[in-house]
């Protein structure tokens, strides 16, 4: 069953372009090292914060990728965020 890890955070408007560049590098590195994620979606919410969802084919696949996370790239990208939280969930219905 597919799983999703969703990060919720704030990025200052002046940092957004650089954050997007760094996030792209994280995604590319994760995909080069692991079979996934199958999809990433970054959404700017009404309050100006962001929801960053990463979909994986399985929880095992996600956990393996997290164990092999590109720390330098992830650290650089997420250094531009604040008030960050995360949640994991299992997709139970999709249409």
Alpha helices (H) along the chain: 16-33, 59-67, 71-78
Tell me whether residue 93 is in a domain.
no
Q: What is the DSSP letter of 82?
A: E
pLDDT of residue 35: 83
pLDDT of residue 81: 97
pLDDT of residue 62: 93
Chain segment 15-60, per-residue pLDDT in tens: 999 999 999 999 999 999 888 789 999 999 999 999 999 999 999 9
Chain segment 58-88, per-residue pLDDT in tens: 999 999 988 887 778 889 999 999 999 999 9
Q: How many domains does the chain have?
A: 1
pLDDT tier at 5, thresholds 50, 70, 90? very high
Identify the three-state secondary structure at position 42.
Answer: strand
- Domain span including residue 18: 3-87
pLDDT of residue 36: 74
CA proximity to 5, closest of 43, 39, 53, 51: 53
Tell me whether residue 81 is in a domain.
yes
Tell me whether residue 51 is in a domain.
yes
Structure tokens at 95: 């249409």
CATH code, domain with 48:
3.30.70.100
Q: Is 11 exposed, middle or buried (0-12, 13-18, 19+ CB in 10 A)?
A: buried
Could you tell me if 52 and 7 are in contact, meaning their C-beta atoms sit under 8 angstroms apart?
Answer: yes
């Amino acid at each position: 069953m597919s799983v999703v890890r969703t990060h919720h955070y704030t990025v200052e408007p002046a940092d957004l372009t650089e954050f997007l560049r760094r996030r792209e590098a994280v995604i590319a590195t994760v995909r080069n090292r692991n079979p996934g994620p199958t999809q990433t979606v970054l959404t700017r919410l009404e309050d100006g914060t962001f929801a960053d969802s990463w979909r994986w084919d399985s929880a095992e696949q996600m956990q393996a990728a997290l164990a092999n996370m590109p720390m330098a790239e992830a650290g650089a990208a997420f250094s531009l965020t604040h008030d960050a939280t995360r949640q994991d969930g299992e997709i139970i219905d999709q249409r």
